């Protein structure tokens, strides 16, 4: 019965998932693009052709299906997410886009990984600065990280600041011969995390500060294991380590299970554990300095030189079972017309996953990010209509619907790690994530956990506004946005690139920025219905969504036809104050 309902739902939006096929956008017999006599005429001048084909009356039924109860909240690795992926694929096939996945498929497969504690003991014994041996208790004094390799290691303990190696910022905490064969003790987070002028992306958490990244940094320098401790200089509040450990390894499997890319997890070959401030303080005791003293000293431009801790020694055994979870993005491409430029691509994208169901309660995710995926399909249709009318863009356009954004941008990361087209040939990434509502931060909720870093503001004040995030990495893309918007008159807000909300790293443009590709996130903002059961298609501002989609379509057309391409501007290293 459930399968029949799914097929019926697909029929309601005018398409049933067909067999895989390539199709030529120029062949109207293959493409099911509006052959109803209502096709708008080709655009004139600099206006993107068939921009007016992006219409509310087409967007609305698509979004009502994608955010319906039938798709069950589209949680990654569920029937609902697979149905959503099949729907996007069927739309790409109907339009006649060329499959951009391997082996002539619209799907780009990749593997995720999750972890459970293994059957063997997770153990950590340390010799502290006073030359006393201590047996630490798992989930009380330390816990093994999910991405840790299973196995045992031992060695003298060295303090390596934040444990970050970042050549592009001229920063290296792993200098010195003491690292090889040692157990590295490193701080959480990053230097200058509260400094807007920090080279580590200002107050946005830099990718290099992630625990898995630090494990790979330490491993590359020959460390035998990595221990991570809270940065007590920037986070001086007393910790409840045992509570944190139980939250990291809960007794019952959580509804939203932590995931990462399997390819990342497989790279980690050393044991990695989080240890309490108390245990780390004991390890550094022989230096005559406190852990807070050492943490403060790590706030130095260029990084620290690894410090061997007197008497400190560690023996660690980690036991983690890794579990593979297959996943897939949906990708289709329309080839450009210019023999010299068609190998270059502009990526238009959004994510099709959301947060699933809690019992019978469905999290529809209409704005997040049904709105973005529907916009991707609408723009694909406009480009196909233009191609059929003999107006192809000079560069190729790759349309993508990523999965597993809600669990760490993992679909976009998977593409960025193994792209269908070389990233060096990727001109720009235009990511749409939540483009259907008005930003709203209610009174009393400013700087709450939900709206951290955002000013109190009404929905009415943002009725014509859209946040454009990522322009600090490309002034050219900012200029391109402003130029495209001249015909639409949206209120463009460039306000969240360096904000404690961490919005800069919270959507699928972020992996591409880490690879040096100019990328923007178009985002109408958080609101009280965000990540709740009330994010429903009935509440979407369709007039605004149509205008935004048309503006981004115009911008993509401009980028695809320009003689030059936008420049990426990496952050320039500055001194940590």
Q: How far is CA 89 from CA 100, 190, 344, in A?
A: 11, 41, 23
Q: Name the band, by pLDDT with cuts 50, 70 and 90, for residue 355.
A: very high
Q: What is the pLDDT of residue 282?
A: 97
Dump pLDDT digits (tens) for 474-486: 999 999 999 999 9
Q: Name the band, by pLDDT with cuts 50, 70 and 90, for residue 575.
A: very low
The gap from C-alpha 565 to its chain's centroid, in whole angstroms, comes to: 24
Sign of the torsion formed by the C-alpha atoms of 275, 277, 283 and 284: positive
CA–CA dist 42, 351 (Å, integer): 29
| DSSP states of 198-241 | -TTTTTSPPGGGSHHHHHHHHHHTT-SEEEEE--TTT--SPP-H
Is 70 exceeded by the pLDDT of residue 26? no
Report the percentage of the chain scoring pLDDT > 90. 89
Q: What is the largest CA-CA distance in the chain?
A: 85
| Cα 525-530-532 angle, rounded to 5 deg | 175
Are the C-beta atoms of 368 and 526 separated by less than 8 Å?
no
Nearest to 380 by CA among 571, 549, 151, 559: 549
Q: What is the pLDDT of residue 45?
A: 44
Kindly report which listed range (131-140, 241-250, 360-369, 445-454) carries the lowest average pLDDT score.
Answer: 445-454
Helix (H) or strand (E) holding 553: helix 542-561
Residues 6+ apart with CB under 8 A from 385: 33, 34, 39, 40, 49, 50, 53
Dump pLDDT digits (tens) for 248-295: 999 999 999 999 999 999 999 999 999 999 999 999 999 999 999 999
Kindly report which listed range (9-23, 77-91, 399-413) carries the lowest average pLDDT score.
Answer: 9-23
In which region does residue 30 sit, left (phi positive, over 0), alpha (psi from -120 to 50) or beta (all else)? alpha
Dump pLDDT digits (tens) for 427-474: 999 999 999 999 999 998 888 889 999 999 999 999 999 999 999 999
Is 80 exceeded by the pLDDT of residue 520? yes
Q: What is the pLDDT of residue 570?
A: 83
Q: What is the pLDDT of residue 572?
A: 57
Q: What is the pLDDT of residue 104?
A: 97
Residue identified by tokens 């929905």 is 459
Q: In 389-474, where does DSSP find H-type helix?
A: 410-417
CA–CA dist 108, 349 (Å, integer): 14
Dump pLDDT digits (tens) for 315-344: 999 999 999 999 999 999 999 999 999 999
Across the chain, mean pLDDT equals: 92
Q: Name the band, by pLDDT with cuts 50, 70 and 90, for residue 65.
A: very high
Is 50 exceeded by the pLDDT of residue 46? yes
Dump pLDDT digits (tens) for 188-247: 999 999 999 999 999 999 999 999 999 999 999 999 999 999 999 999 998 999 999 999
Is 60 exceeded by the pLDDT of residue 163? yes
Are the C-beta atoms of 321 and 149 separated by less than 8 Å?
no
Nearest to 393 by CA among 380, 378, 402: 380
Q: How far is CA 322 from CA 114, 153, 454, in A?
A: 6, 19, 38
Kindly report which listed range (37-46, 265-274, 413-422, 477-486) carries the lowest average pLDDT score.
Answer: 37-46
The gap from C-alpha 105 to its chain's centroid, in whole angstroms, comes to: 24
CA–CA dist 288, 290 (Å, integer): 7
Is 50 exceeded by the pLDDT of residue 21? no
Is 50 exceeded by the pLDDT of residue 41? no
**Residue range 519-524: mean pLDDT, rounded:** 98
Encode 298-319 in three state secondary structure: CCCCCCCECEEEEEEEEEEEEC
Is 50 exceeded by the pLDDT of residue 34? no
Are the C-beta atoms of 434 and 524 separated by less than 8 Å?
yes
Q: What is the pLDDT of residue 301?
A: 93
Domain-wise residue ranges, the chain: 57-111+327-561, 120-318
Helix (H) or strand (E) holding 380: helix 371-388
Q: Which CATH superfamily is domain 57-111+327-561 in?
A: Zn peptidases (3.40.630.10)
Q: In 463-532, where does DSSP find H-type helix?
A: 475-485, 510-514
CA–CA dist 295, 297 (Å, integer): 5
Pick among 3.30.450.40, 3.30.450.20, 3.50.30.30, 3.40.50.1110: CATH of 120-318: 3.50.30.30
Are the C-beta atoms of 32 and 387 separated by less than 8 Å?
no
Helix (H) or strand (E) holding 111: strand 107-117
Q: Name the band, by pLDDT with cuts 50, 70 and 90, for residue 571.
A: low
Q: Name the band, by pLDDT with cuts 50, 70 and 90, for residue 18.
A: very low
Question: Burial of 447 by CB count in 10 Å (0-12 exposed, 13-18 middle, 19+ buried)?
Answer: middle
């Amino acid at each position: 019965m459930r399968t029949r309902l799914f097929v019926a739902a697909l029929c309601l939006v005018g398409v049933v998932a067909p067999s895989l096929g390539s199709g030529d956008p120029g062949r109207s017999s293959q493409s099911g693009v509006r052959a109803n006599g209502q096709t708008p005429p080709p655009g004139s001048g600099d206006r993107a052709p068939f921009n007016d084909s992006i219409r509310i009356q087409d967007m609305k039924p698509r979004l009502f299906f994608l955010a319906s109860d039938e798709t069950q909240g589209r949680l990654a690795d569920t029937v609902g997410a697979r149905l959503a992926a099949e729907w996007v694929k069927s739309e790409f096939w109907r339009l006649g886009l060329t499959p951009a996945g391997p082996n002539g498929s619209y799907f780009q497969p990749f593997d995720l990984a999750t972890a459970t504690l293994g059957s063997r003991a997770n153990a950590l014994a340390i010799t502290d600065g006073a030359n006393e041996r201590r047996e630490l208790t798992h989930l009380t004094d330390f816990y093994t990280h999910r991405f840790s390799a299973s196995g045992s290691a031992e060695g003298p303990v060295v303090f390596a600041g934040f444990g970050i190696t970042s050549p592009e910022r001229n920063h290296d905490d792993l200098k010195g011969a003491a690292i090889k064969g040692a157990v590295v003790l490193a701080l959480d987070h990053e230097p200058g995390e509260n400094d807007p002028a920090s080279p580590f992306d200002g107050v946005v958490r830099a990718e290099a500060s992630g625990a898995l990244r630090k494990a790979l940094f330490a491993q590359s320098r020959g460390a035998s294991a990595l221990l991570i401790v809270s940065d007590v200089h920037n986070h001086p509040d007393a910790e409840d380590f045992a509570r944190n450990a139980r939250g990291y390894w809960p007794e019952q499997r959580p509804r939203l299970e932590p995931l990462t890319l399997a390819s990342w997890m497989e790279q980690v070959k050393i044991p990695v554990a989080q240890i309490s401030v108390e245990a780390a303080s004991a390890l550094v005791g022989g230096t005559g300095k406190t852990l807070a003293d050492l943490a403060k000293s790590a706030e130095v431009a260029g990084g620290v030189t690894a410090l061997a801790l007197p008497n400190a020694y560690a023996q660690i055994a980690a036991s983690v079972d890794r579990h593979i979870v297959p996943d897939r993005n949906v990708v289709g491409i329309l080839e450009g017309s210019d023999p010299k430029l068609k190998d270059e691509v502009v990526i238009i994208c959004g994510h099709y996953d959301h947060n699933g169901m809690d019992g019978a309660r469905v999290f529809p995710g209409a704005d997040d990010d049904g709105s973005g995926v529907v916009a991707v399909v609408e723009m694909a249709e406009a480009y196909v209509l233009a191609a059929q009318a003999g107006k192809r863009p000079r560069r190729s356009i790759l349309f993508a619907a990523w999965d597993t954004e809600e669990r760490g941008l993992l679909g976009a990361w998977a593409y960025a790690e193994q792209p269908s087209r070389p990233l060096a040939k990727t001109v720009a990434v235009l990511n749409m994530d939540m483009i259907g509502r008005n930003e709203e931060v209610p009174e009393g909720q400013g700087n709450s956990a939900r709206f951290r870093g955002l000013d109190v503001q009404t929905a009415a004040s943002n009725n014509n506004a859209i946040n454009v995030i990522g322009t600090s990495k490309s002034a050219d893309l900012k200029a391109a946005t402003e130029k495209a918007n001249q015909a639409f008159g949206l209120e463009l807000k460039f306000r969240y690139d360096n904000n404690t909300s961490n919005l800069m790293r919270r959507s699928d443009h972020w992996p591409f920025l880490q690879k040096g590709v100019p990328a923007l996130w178009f985002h109408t903002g958080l609101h009280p219905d965000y990540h709740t059961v009330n994010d429903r298609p009935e509440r979407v501002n369709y007039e605004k969504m149509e205008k935004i989609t048309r503006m981004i379509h115009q911008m993509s057309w401009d980028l695809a036809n320009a003689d030059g391409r936008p420049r990426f501007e990496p952050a320039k290293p500055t001194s940590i104050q």
